Amino acid sequence: MATLEDFIKQAQEIELLRFTTAGSVDDGKSTLIGRLLHDAKCIYEDHLAALHSDSRRAGREGVDFALLTDGLRAEREQGITIDVAYRHFATPRRRFIIADTPGHEQYTRNMVTGASTADLAVILIDALNGVTTQSKRHGFIASLLGIPHITVAVNKMDLVGYSQNAFENIVAEYAEFASKLRTQDLEFIPISALHGDNVVYRSPNMPWYEGAPLLAHLENVHIASDRNLIDFRFPVQYVLRPSGSFRGYCGNVASGVVRVNDEVVVLPSGKTSRVSRIIYDRQDVDYAFPPQPITICLEDELDISRGDMLAHPANLPWIAHELEAMLIWMHEEPLRLDRQYLIKHTTTTARGRFFDLKYVIDPSTLHRQPATNLKLNDIGRISMQLFRPILCDEYQRNRQTGCFIVIDPQTNFTVGAGLIIDRLHRYEAPERHIVHHKGHVGIEDRARVLGQRPVTIWLTGLSASGKSTLAYALEKRLIEEGRACFVLDGDNIRQGLNRDLGFSPEDRTENIRRVAEVAKLFNDAGLIVITSFISPFRKDRLNARQIIGNERFIEVFVDAPLEVCEARDPKGLYAKARAGEIPDFTGISSPYEAPESPDLHLRTDQISINEAVRTVMTFLEKKNVL
């Protein structure tokens, strides 16, 4: 027979899912949570009796499940959620912590608080009202906070007669909006929280819905791979020194995995040592992972204190004074660029100030707008300067070390939350830890085997000037002649490798740098690379030439007048840019710096695609590439 300790241990070992609910006011968030707990039989008898009593006292017909989470007097009087309420419950398959967050726009900051640690967001949409601005706002914030799973629960299906068309119209509208977000997993479930349809049990009123009820979806959504198990980060919270013979460093594993005997570096001092012991739950263990609270002992006695960080020597965070971040302002008093704030990041706090507010984002349209300051609930991209460095990562890479909160030093109020997005810093290990490995097969060997000299044909020009058309036609011609080649296309690269980059000048620079590094590797493998990128700035193309190598870099200016490109406009981008829907669009609102002395200049408004391909092939033969 299982003992109480066995039962507790078994319960602790079940996987934990943190999720948050969000949506417009009166969409039924609290009712959904109450229904979920009730139908899953996770309400104690005395709580259920109190719920019945409260419902009668409030004059409700039947049981009002919203009263289960609306604990504040003001919440019950107004029938809304004001503060974040947390509930814990468990099923045989999984444990859950729910954050019931407010729907009013004025309480968006509370929604951010509840969502900051969530693995999944349940966004409710009233089937009668359809997609609202708040629905989009919450989807954007969930995406911004890096919540990997979003489940859209279309509630109150009973009020639309359980109509499949009503559900599918909402799905189509919201899916189009969500396609602009960085959302990995998006699910839609039609429910009625009031009557329990598709909450815990499958609804007989919606036989056309073939998916799982909400609880079954929550029990089975895969979250094990969401955590960062690569970049070991251990912010030290305090030093444990119970006796002269023991020195341990306590804290939570923010990310990555650490094992006994691992070499670690202490930041910011840069001193190295090895892990001698890892203690978790008063027992020695061989390894630890996030978010375990552990004590680490090192072989050497080093000067380590709160705010320091342990990491693996070949995988270090940034040590940065200046950063860029997406800042969510959470206070009635607007952000002031002329004053200092306290920046609390992991276990350390530093003074700093903000400057150069680049733009604010309209969460309902995702458009960027110029601004001079941030007001309550505004979200904007901004530069910041710290008076002493912090050890951080980009938020999309590491949610624990990539975020911070802003504190007013005079009132101690938390006035903002930031997500680090700076891409100008590179993840680089100290030079002493980098060794360039050289294989036994040289570039000359690969060129001899493939019968070609590897080069990068860099096609640059305005959008719709014909770069991609030429790139793929040239690739086809080279393949027909038995050459090994590959096209790096701008749209394809931004769907994968560079999906985290925007179209600001800084992001365009980073986009071209990464492409140049990939092209260099492909050239090292012996391939001819054809790139198709607008690459509007000369300095970026010069940097690409330096990365790839001058002898391998062939710059081809694919030239067509702007009016011709606009007339072609196969993607409709110029029309959107003229309408102001696409900021920083090359040729319209962002400059294009034409090459001053390209290796080839092709006027695609004057020659056919076949002539252009022949011209490039002739050039390659003259240069002994083929």
Amino acid at 202: R
Which active-site residues does the annotation give? 535
Closest residue by Cα to residue 145 from 178, 106, 177, 117 = 117
563 Cβ contact partners less than 8 Å away, ≥ 6 residues apart: none
Whether the CB-CB separation of 293 and 250 falls below 8 Å is answered with yes
Closest residue by Cα to residue 118 from 91, 92, 86, 94 = 86
Helix, strand, coil abundance in the chain, percent, nearest 5: 30, 30, 40
Whether the CB-CB separation of 21 and 35 falls below 8 Å is answered with no
How many residues does the structure list for the chain? 626
503-538 burial code (b ≥16 CB/10 A, e <16): bbeebbbbbbbbbbebbbebbeebbbbbbbbbbbbe
Helices within 186-232 (DSSP H only) = 214-220
For 308, phi and psi rounded to 5 degrees?
-75, 165
246 to 240, 262, 266, 621: CA distances (angstroms): 8, 19, 18, 71
Q: How far apart are CA 269 and CA 295, in angstroms?
A: 20
Cα dihedral sign, 504-507-511-517: positive
Helices within 525-604 (DSSP H only) = 538-548, 562-568, 573-578
For 232, phi and psi rounded to 5 degrees?
-70, 120
The whole-angstrom distance between residue 243's C-alpha and the CA centroid of its chain comes to 44
Token pair for residue 164?
Answer: 């499949």
